[in-house]
Amino acid sequence: MTVLATPYIAEVEASVEQLVYVRDDEYTVARMSSDALPSFVASGRPLAGAQPGETLRLAGEWDDHPRHGSRLVVRRCERIVPSTVRAITLYLGSGLIRGIGPRLAHAIVSHFGERTLTVVDTEPDRLREVVNIGAARQAQIVQAWAEQKAVADLMVVLQGFGISPLLAAKIYQVYGNDSREVLTRDPYRMIGQVRGIAFRTADRIALRSGVPEHSPQRIKAAVVDRLETAAARDGHCFLPLPALLAATASLVEQDEEAVRRAVDALAAERGLVVETSPTGPGHAVYAKEHHGREVALAGHLTRLWRARSTLPLRAFAEDEGLHEDQRMAVNLVLTSTLSILTGGPGCGKSHTVRVIAATVRAMGGTVTLTAPTGKAAKRLSELTGLPAMTVHRMLAQQPEPEEGTLFQQSPTEADLIVVDEASMLDLQLATRLTAAIPSGSHLLLVGDSDQLPSIGPGSVLADLLRVEEVPRVRLTHVFRQAQDSGIVRAAHRIRTGELPALPGRGGFWFEELDDPEQVADRVVHLATEAIPRKQNVGSDRVQVLCPMRKGATGTVELGRRLQERLNPAREGTPEHWSGPSVFRVGDRVMPIRNNYDKGVFNGETATVTAVNPQDRLVEIRTGDGETVAYSFDELDELTHSYAISVHRSQGSEYPFVVAPIVAEAGGVMLRRGLLYTLVTRAKAWVVLVGQREALELAVHRLGHRRNTGLALRLTLNLDR
């Protein structure tokens, strides 16, 4: 240890043994070691991005921590090349260099000693002097070494710009050897291409690199960012021109005239589309891809609506077991090539779909049942007794066209295609779906229009319900068996803007607590102990749903607490930290991005089955029983599912649901559609814990209407 000029500042060179804790704001706690200090704890935000095996030069103050003992509070952190045999062995065996595990690391360092890294860097052919290293393994090690050096170099550059070093691996994953040039010469290019980099991050780099504040390039990037943010955060397909000008001008602190010139330039370059607003006076500005999809979707829906049916018969034999509105729905689907079936819980949507499917099959027709998520598809299959698949898998099973025929025995060729949980269809998925369905097939969209809209931009189901020409039936009769459910009763009261009977009964319960910390404690206790014990079920049968992401009762903090309670760290068991998330065998996770190469899709449920530091892989098993591998650099495509947002729960049903209801940060997410969706995710019991005023706020506050033009486009098409 070297004491610097300031008496309270110490400088230490040490290796990272283990990450203990990483917070959302990048505050990191790590267990360190060196030849002089066998074991100590260091903490602080400068440690952000540190990985086990790295050697760091740390400067900070020592203090005594009640849990960790002697601790170095880090003020400055610098990554350095390990130089001692011990540090080099730890570095190579940590998993930082893919293809080298602890045993091989020991063999390499035993052979080359303190010159090991010099040999790897400048004489890589000599690695084959070590037993068990052939040409293939040597090439793997050399490539991994080059990648690690490049990422470490990017970390230094990012820290120089005051940017999180955690972004380095993501940038390298996208741009490879061009990463440094893109980062320093064209940082705006990273917006939308690198997860975690939006305009403010790219702009900070650009301004510090000398880009003028009034640069047209800068203002164009800000315009695109405002459109993308509106789509990702609020689900808008377009922004009214005045709103876009004002938002962009505020972001870049420039006048609106300069922004208008940037919008005109982007439109001339065909990067965006400016047209008469479909929802009011003035102009609307679309990102090019959203405009193209909206126009295409309206066209495909029009084609399906006008097509002649392929069904061999259209007569329907009366079924005395159906309510009048259910019989109306069956007849409608058999006679209309495009139709909608909607209604709340307990109104018989699933039974109606079962009768429709059975009738079409009895007529000699074919049926494909599908839903946006795996859980929704599985539930549809269980309720109807027929096979069902996700929309993504249905589209993936389309064969290549042969002999001039568009479809060859594809699920999309069926006489009837039923899409359940249609409120989840965003603009992109709906466009792909309708494009794949041949003219003459019947498309039935089934969903609850009072639920939350899709995660992605658009409000497809709601838009179609605004078009009078689109045939639809809304089921309103609540059947007797459903009337006894407290969940169904509460849901229907919420839908009409009424507060459910409190504290509740028969499957719905509200427990009033005011303090968010106490609410969080109670939610964790209910999910991990009280409900599993009382209901004699495993904790995996209880799902925590959160209206918010941040705060004591948000998905991040509650998810962390639930993970520590249900799947804590175990001595000798590998784990891997990716940002503020730690992955362990047994963790409940879900993909948050569609990955067609891996065959996994947003919202599927999965369990971590392996964490392999040597190959830098995490393996998961999906609900379909498929094993899928993610590299450590791809883990931002996964999220833990101990506590998830209500939006991510769409299409799923859980035996028991526990949810915090508090007005943290103003309760901006507490809206009627969110509460209604939350309550209807539970099958047996839903327990809400929190503030009565927050519950009342959620019941009475309506959500915003998304900016979309689909309803108008479709209306104009159908009127022609």
Query: Which residues are annotated binding-site positions for ATP?
Result: 346-350
Are the CB atoms for 522 and 531 separated by under 8 Å? no
Instruction: With CA atoms as reference, report the closest residue to 529 among 644, 658, 652, 646.
Output: 658
Phi and psi, residue 546, nearest 5°: -125, 135
Helix 324-335 vs helix 349-362: crossing angle, to nearest 10 = 40
Give the Cα separation of 395 and 409 in Å (integer): 12
Residue with tokens 């170099």: 153
334, 342 in Cβ contact below 8 A? no
Say how many residues make up the chain: 720
Which residue shows structure tokens 């001039």?
404
Question: Residues marked as binding?
Answer: 346-350
- Compute the half-sphere exposure of residue 302: CA atoms within 13 Å on the CB side of its CA: 17
Residue 132, classed as helix, strand or coil, is: coil
Nearest Cα to Cα of residue 553 among 683, 387, 455, 670: 670
Q: By 3-state DSSP, what share of the chain in percent is helix, strand and coil, each rounded to 5?
A: 45, 20, 35
Tokens of 688: 């809400």
Neighbours of 25 (CB within 10 A): 10
Give the CA radius of gyration of the chain: 28
Least Cα distance to 46 among 164, 150, 158 occurs for: 164
Do residues 379 and 649 touch, judged by C-beta distance below 8 A? no
Two tokens, residue 8: 């309270």
Phi, psi of 124 (to 5 degrees): -60, -25
Place of tokens 């040409």: 135
What b-and-e string marks burial along 664-682, b requiring 16 or more CB atoms within 10 Å of the CB? beebebbbbbbbbbbbbbb
| Distance of alpha carbon 122 from the chain centroid | 42
CA distance linking residue 47 with residue 41, whole number of Å: 12
Phi-psi map region of 131: left, alpha, beta (phi>0 left; psi -120 to 50 alpha) = beta
Residue 437 to residues 50, 359, 470: CA-CA distances in angstroms? 50, 21, 17
- Residue 292's H or E segment, with its range, is helix 288-306
Residue 450 tokens read as: 């009072």
Query: What's the rounded Cα separation, in Å, for the pair 93 and 102?
Result: 4
